[in-house]
C-alpha cells in the first residue's frame, strides 16, 4: 500500500479491460459485514467459526460475533502507538495453538515510528485481551521516514510466524535496506515464537548456515510487502509488493521449492520486471507472476488470498488482489498467469486496504473508508 491517507480516486470504469480475460457476470457478489474506523485487516482465530476480528488503524481490534459487532474492543492500543499515513496498528495473528495457549501477536508502529511485534494473551474473558501480558517479541528501528512499514503477520503452514517489513521509506530505498541481508527492513522474516518469550531462529532460515544473512531473514529485495498470504491447500506463498513510480507486482514462492529460502525479489535494483537503475542485470531477483503498470488512477497493490471456500466453487484456486487507488479487483489462478478482472462484481470502490480469510476459506475485502465485505455467491 502506497499511502493509507491517499485521496480516493473513483476510477473503476477506467480499469475495465486493463487486464484481459474478463470473467462472466453473476458468479460472485459482496455482502457487508459492517462499518469500522479505518479498518486495515480482518482475520479469525484458528478453528473458531463464530467470530471475526477487524483491525482498525488507530489501535483497536474489534470483534464480530455471529455477524454482530461487539461494543467493547477485544484489544485497545489507542494512545500507545503512532497512527496516520502508513503508520498504525497494522495486523494481528492468532497462534495456531490459541485454543490452548491464548496467545496472539500484533504488528504496529510505536510512538517513535519504529516497528514492533508484541505478543498478548487473552484474559479470563474470551472476548477481551489481557493488556498486562504484553511481551515485545521483536523491535525494528525505522528511522527517518514514516512510510514503507510493511505490516503483515501470518502463521505459515510450518507453524512459524512470518513477518513482512517495508524497506524503511523514501524514494528508491535510500538506506539500501532491501538488498542488505543484515538489515531487517525490506524483508520477509520467519520466527519461531513457541517459547516462553521472544523468538528462536527456525531450522531452514538461510542465516542458520549462511552468515551473510541476518538469522531472522527468509527472503529479501522487497519494497513494501503490505500483504502476503499462504494458500491453505498447497502452502504456496503469495506476496503483494508495492511498487514505486511505474509497476506493481505479485510474487509467488511455491511450496514445492520450500517457498524460496534466501530468495531475492529484486528491489531496489528492479521494479517488477524492469531495471530501476540504468544498465542493471534484468536477471536480478525472482520476477513477479503478475505485474501491472501505473496510470493516473492505478497506484498500489493490495495482496490477498487464494479462495478455498465452498460457497462459490468456481473461485477455487483463484488468488485475489486489488489496487488501492483504482479499486479494481483481480485474480490469477497459478500456474496460469492470465489475470481475470472481477472489478464489476467484487469491487466496493476505492481504498481497498486489505483482504482476509476465515476458517472456511471464504474471503473478505476491507476498505479503509470503513466497510468490510464478504465475498458471497451471486443471487
Residue 360 and residue 19 in contact, taking contact as beta carbons nearer than 8 Å: no
CATH class (in words) of the domain with range 37-303: mainly beta
Give SS3 for 99: helix
Paired with 241 in beta bridges are 249
Tell me what pLDDT residue 319 has: 98
Domain boundaries, the chain: 37-303
How far from 27 is each of 84, 237, 311, 313, CA to CA, in Å?
37, 26, 11, 10
CA–CA dist 238, 378 (Å, integer): 27
How far from 153 is each of 18, 193, 285, 367, CA to CA, in Å?
31, 12, 23, 19
Mean pLDDT by 10 residues, the chain (379 residues): 35 36 69 98 97 98 96 97 97 98 98 98 98 98 96 97 98 97 98 96 97 98 98 97 97 90 96 91 90 93 98 96 97 96 95 98 98 96
pTM for the full model? Answer: 0.93
CA–CA dist 253, 10 (Å, integer): 33
CA–CA dist 75, 287 (Å, integer): 39
Amino acid at each position: 500500500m502506497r499511502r493509507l491517507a491517499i485521496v480516493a480516486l473513483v476510477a473503476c470504469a477506467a480499469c475495465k479491460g486493463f487486464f484481459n480475460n474478463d470473467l462472466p457476470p453473476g458468479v460472485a457478489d459482496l455482502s457487508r459485514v459492517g462499518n469500522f474506523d479505518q479498518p486495515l485487516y480482518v482475520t479469525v482465530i484458528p478453528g473458531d467459526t463464530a467470530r471475526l476480528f477487524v483491525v482498525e488503524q488507530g489501535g483497536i481490534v474489534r470483534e464480530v460475533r455471529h455477524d454482530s459487532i461487539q461494543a467493547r474492543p477485544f484489544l485497545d492500543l489507542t494512545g500507545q502507538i503512532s497512527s496516520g499515513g502508513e503508520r498504525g496498528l497494522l495486523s494481528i495473528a492468532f497462534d495456531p495453538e490459541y485454543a490452548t495457549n491464548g496467545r496472539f501477536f500484533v504488528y504496529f508502529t510505536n510512538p517513535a515510528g519504529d516497528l514492533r511485534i508484541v505478543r498478548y494473551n487473552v484474559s479470563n474473558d474470551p472476548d477481551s485481551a489481557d493488556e498486562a501480558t504484553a511481551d515485545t517479541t521483536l523491535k525494528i528501528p525505522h528511522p527517518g521516514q514514516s512510510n514503507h512499514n510493511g505490516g503483515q503477520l501470518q502463521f505459515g503452514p510450518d507453524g512459524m510466524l512470518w513477518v513482512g517489513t517495508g524497506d524503511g521509506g523514501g524514494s528508491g530505498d535510500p538506506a539500501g535496506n532491501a538488498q542488505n541481508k543484515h538489515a531487517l527492513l525490506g524483508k520477509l522474516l520467519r520466527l519461531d515464537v513457541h517459547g516462553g518469550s521472544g523468538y528462536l531462529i527456525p531450522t531452514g532460515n538461510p542465516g542458520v548456515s549462511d552468515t551473510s544473512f541476518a538469522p531472522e531473514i527468509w527472503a529479501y529485495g522487497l519494497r513494501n510487502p503490505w500483504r502476503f498470504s499462504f494458500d491453505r491447500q498447497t502452502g504456496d506463498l503469495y506476496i503483494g509488493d508495492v511498487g514505486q513510480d511505474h509497476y506493481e507486482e505479485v510474487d509467488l514462492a511455491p511450496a514445492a521449492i520450500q517457498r524460496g529460502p534466501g530468495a531475492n525479489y529484486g528491489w531496489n535494483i528492479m521494479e517488477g520486471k524492469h531495471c530501476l537503475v540504468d544498465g542493471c542485470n534484468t536477471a536480478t531477483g525472482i520476477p513477479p507472476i503478475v505485474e501491472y503498470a501505473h496510470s493516473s488512477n492505478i497506484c498500489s497493490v493490495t495482496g490477498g488470498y487464494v479462495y478455498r471456500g465452498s460457497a462459490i466453487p468456481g473461485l477455487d484456486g483463484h488468488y485475489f488482489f486489488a489496487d488501492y487507488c483504482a479499486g479494481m479487483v483481480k485474480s490469477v489462478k497459478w500456474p496460469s498467469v492470465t489475470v481475470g478482472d472481477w472489478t464489476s462484481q467484487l469491487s466496493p470502490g476505492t481504498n481497498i486496504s486489505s483482504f482476509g480469510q476465515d476458517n472456511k476459506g471464504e474471503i473478505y475485502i476491507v476498505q479503509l473508508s470503513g466497510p468490510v465485505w464478504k465475498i458471497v455467491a451471486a443471487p
